[in-house]
């Protein structure tokens, strides 16, 4: 029989690093440690992330601040110390992607002091408070990544005119007056 007392003393560290789930440990919104799956998800090497501010992984400072305020407010009142949401994050190459983030504070009186987070890449676009069709959600991801209607059309194998119609509907549903505002509202909706 295997004797568990003979396992390496750094088994927990090995388990953290080898976990297929993208995991990060933060202290006051600075990155203290990441595992390989997390570094891969964001396109960085571990050494490029440890010690950095979480802002490095967000598409915009506004998004970073909005999500931070929302999660801190929730954590201050959560009895279980847990928080979860869906949001846009940014890969090293600049591509914005949709993810589910689940965090747990180890310091409930000061929630951001020490937290463990799990990130899960979502293959669908957004689930906003307004109702979007699956095609509108799909197109939203490409709009946020800066693709033109023609580029989106080629990528999705549909007419660029069809993309323009969906884009117009998105602008109306999200009450956006121009392209920059549309991108901002798509990101903030998450």
pLDDT digits (tens, 9 = 90+) for 167-190: 999 999 888 888 877 887 777 664
Q: How confident is the model over 10-55, as pLDDT tens digits?
A: 888 888 999 999 999 999 999 999 999 999 999 999 999 999 999 9
DSSP string, the chain: ---GGGS-TTHHHHHHHH-SS-EEEEETTEEEEE-HHHHHHHT--HHHHTT-BGGGGSS-HHHHHHHHHHHHHHHHH-SS-EEEEEEEEE-TTS-EEEEEEEEEES-TTSGGGSEEEEEEE-SS----SS---HHHHHHHHHHHTT--HHHHHHHHTS-HHHHHHHHHHHHHHTT-SSHHHHHHHHHHH-
| pTM for this entry | 0.65
Residue-averaged pLDDT of the chain:
87
Domains belonging to the chain, first-starting first, are: 9-121 (3.30.450.20), 134-189 (1.10.10.10)
């Amino acid at each position: 029989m295997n004797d568990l007392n003979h396992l390496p003393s750094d088994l927990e560290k090995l388990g953290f690093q080898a976990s297929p789930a993208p995991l990060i440990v933060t202290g006051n919104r600075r990155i203290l440690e990441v595992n390989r799956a997390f570094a891969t998800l964001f396109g960085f090497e571990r050494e490029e992330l440890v010690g950095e501010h979480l802002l490095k992984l967000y598409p915009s400072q506004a998004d970073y601040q909005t999500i931070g305020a929302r999660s801190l407010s929730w954590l201050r009142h959560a009895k279980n110390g847990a928080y979860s949401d869906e949001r846009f994050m940014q890969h090293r190459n600049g591509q914005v992607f949709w993810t589910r983030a689940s965090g747990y504070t180890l310091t409930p009186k000061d929630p951001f002091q020490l937290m463990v987070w799990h990130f899960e890449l979502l293959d669908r676009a957004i689930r906003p408070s307004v109702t979007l069709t699956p095609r509108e959600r799909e197109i939203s991801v490409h709009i946020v990544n800066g693709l033109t209607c023609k580029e989106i059309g080629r990528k999705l194998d549909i007419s660029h005119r069809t993309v323009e119609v969906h884009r117009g509907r998105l602008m109306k549903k999200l009450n956006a007056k121009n392209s920059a505002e549309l991108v901002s509202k798509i990101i903030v909706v998450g």
